[in-house]
């Protein structure tokens, strides 16, 4: 036998027993975003490497060490997208969606980062990203946060807390940056290797360090919030007033900075204590400079991304995630000529009952063996075409999960019965009678 080939480390298959939970979550995300007028945009997974270098920033973890970059057969440098905002802005500029317009967009799909795999941190993971363009006020920042808060409610999650901060204007940030460098240089001996490197390339990122040894130094650092420009201060205050008015609880965390360079003004994170170290399930903020940085006209923008795997593990700690979707009915056929009748019956039932999950037995075999498969399929009912049913021109209906006798029904009665039992409305074209629900 040849050697078995395995999946790539940190990249996971989503198995049938898990995909029901994914679909359940995705449906709620879709509905929630539709409720606020957001439209889906679908973007390529591969982009030119330069797109990420220019948007995310050269001195970030992602661009320095996490990207999957390779040369394609033309010698072009391509990168598997590590996040979605850059591609979304690229597409918006390319198709003229942004200039002098307002856009509310969302996308979902796999992202790729070469990180150390651990629980809640993978090399292929999935994000839902939401971006709003052409709006500079705090109203849209508040709306984005309200979208997330509503989604948590719809998912039944009440163990997430919201932290917000403002990074101010690029100018205010630049002068704060100098203050921070002065302060941290005074503690250079206590910094770790990574922080020492960041000191002159991206000192704000030191505030985001996960090293507990730096906690005290970071706590003593000058606060960005004390150095905001006036307009950003007002923007931030209005955002807080809107959140209060909408009843969204939050805390202001003056140390909250985001890993990517492109943020300004509002940043926020939704954090849980129930997932250990990987507790941020959703993060975002405002990035007014990015569109121009990627060649578009200056366009204010704000957005967020949530980690789908982290949300699913959080939901799992709550229990009650849907699993497999077993068939409603399993069709057993054991008689001369039953297969022809069965194939035709199965198609007719699927026509008559949209939403019906009917699994037809394939592969032959005796009646007993087929019934065992019906049972194992998880179906609630077996439909049976045996000698006597064929002779009577009917179909047997046998409950598999509850007590009850097998009955033989004519086709119309079967449609009505299944519709009632499974709470499916028959399609108007095929139904001969409307079922009366008990």
Nearest distance in Å: CB 305, ligand ATP: 4
Dump the DSSP string for 177-218: HHHHHHHHHTTGGGS-HHHHHHHHH-GGGGGG---GGGHHHH
Q: Distance between CA 277 and CA 120 in Å, rounded?
A: 9
Q: Could you count the other beta carbons within 10 Å of the beta carbon of residue 329?
A: 27
Q: Distance between CA 227 and CA 209 in Å, rounded?
A: 21
Output 309 or 389, the one with its CB closest to ligand ATP.
Answer: 309
295: alpha, beta or left? (left if phi > 0; alpha if psi -120 to 50): left
Q: Which of 223, 280, 341, 408 binds ligand ATP (CB under 6 A)?
A: 280
Laid out side by side, the sheet with 77-80 consists of 46-48, 77-80, 68-71
Residue 239 CB contacts under 8 Å (≥ 6 apart), including other chains:
138, 141, 142, 164, 266
Residue 310 binds ligand ATP (CB under 6 A): yes
Q: Give the x/- contact pattern for ligand ATP in 98-117, rule: CB under 6 A.
A: ---------------x-x--
Is there a binding annotation on residue 17? no
Q: Distance between CA 86 and CA 18 in Å, rounded?
A: 30
- Binding span for ligand ATP by CB under 6 A among 46-54, 99-107, 122-130, 428-436: 122-130
Output 275 or 385, the one with its CB closest to ligand ATP.
Answer: 275
Q: Which of 38, 122, 236, 330 binds ligand ATP (CB under 6 A)?
A: 122
Is there a binding annotation on residue 402? no
Residue 121 binds ligand ATP (CB under 6 A): yes
Distance, CA of 135 to chain centre: 24
Residue 314 binds ligand ATP (CB under 6 A): no
Residue 253 binds ligand ATP (CB under 6 A): no
How many chain residues bind ligand ATP (CB under 6 A)? 19
Class of residue 195 by CB neighbours under 10 A (exposed 0-12, middle 13-18, buried 19+) = buried
Is there a binding annotation on residue 3? no
Residue 125 binds ligand ATP (CB under 6 A): yes
Binding site for ligand ATP (CB under 6 A): 83, 113, 115, 120-122, 125, 127, 259, 278, 280-283, 305-307, 309-310
Going by the annotation, the residues of the binding site are 83-85, 113, 127, 131, 258, 262-263
Binding-site residue positions for L-histidine: 83-85, 113, 127, 131, 258, 262-263
């Amino acid at each position: 036998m040849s050697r078995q080939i395995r999946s790539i480390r940190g990249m996971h298959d989503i198995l049938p027993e898990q995909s029901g939970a994914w679909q359940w979550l995705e449906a709620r995300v879709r509905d929630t975003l539709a409720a606020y007028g957001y439209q889906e945009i679908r973007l390529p997974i591969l982009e030119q490497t330069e797109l990420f270098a220019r948007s995310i920033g050269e001195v970030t973890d992602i661009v320095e060490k996490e990207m999957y970059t390779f040369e394609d057969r033309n010698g072009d440098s391509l990168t598997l997208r590590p996040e979605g905002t850059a591609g979304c802005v690229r597409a918006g500029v390319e198709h003229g969606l942004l200039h002098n317009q307002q856009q509310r967009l969302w996308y979902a799909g796999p992202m790729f980062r070469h990180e150390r795999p651990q629980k809640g941190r993978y090399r292929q993971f999935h994000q839902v990203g939401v971006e709003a363009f052409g709006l500079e006020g705090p109203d849209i920042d508040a709306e984005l946060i309200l979208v997330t808060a509503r989604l948590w409610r719809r998912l039944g999650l009440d163990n997430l807390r919201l932290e917000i901060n403002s990074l101010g204007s690029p100018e205010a940030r630049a002068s704060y940056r100098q203050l921070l460098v002065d302060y941290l240089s005074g503690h250079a001996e206590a910094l770790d290797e990574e922080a020492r490197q960041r000191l002159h390339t991206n000192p704000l990122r030191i505030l985001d360090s996960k090293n507990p040894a730096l906690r005290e130094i970071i706590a003593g650092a000058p606060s960005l919030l004390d150095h905001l420009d006036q307009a950003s201060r007002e923007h931030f205050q209005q955002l807080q007033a809107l959140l209060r008015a909408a009843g969204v609880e939050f805390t202001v965390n003056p140390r909250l900075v985001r890993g990517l360079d492109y943020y300004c003004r509002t940043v926020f994170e939704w954090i849980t204590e129930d997932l250990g170290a990987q507790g941020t399930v959703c993060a975002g903020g405002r990035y007014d400079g990015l569109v121009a940085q990627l060649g578009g006209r200056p366009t204010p923008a704000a957005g967020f991304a949530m980690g789908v795997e982290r949300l699913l593990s959080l939901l799992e700690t709550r229990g009650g995630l849907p699993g497999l979707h077993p068939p409603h009915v399993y069709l057993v056929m054991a008689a001369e000529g039953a297969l022809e009748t069965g194939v035709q019956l199965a198609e007719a039932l699927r026509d008559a009952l949209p939403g019906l999950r009917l699994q037809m037995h394939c592969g032959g075999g005796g009646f007993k063996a087929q019934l065992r498969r019906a049972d194992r399929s998880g179906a609630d009912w077996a439909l049976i075409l045996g000698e006597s049913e064929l002779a009577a021109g009917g179909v047997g209906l046998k409950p598999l999960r509850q007590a009850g006798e097998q009955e033989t029904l004519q086709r119309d009665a079967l449609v009505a019965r299944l519709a009632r039992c499974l709470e499916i409305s028959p399609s108007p074209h095929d139904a001969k009678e409307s079922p009366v629900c008990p």
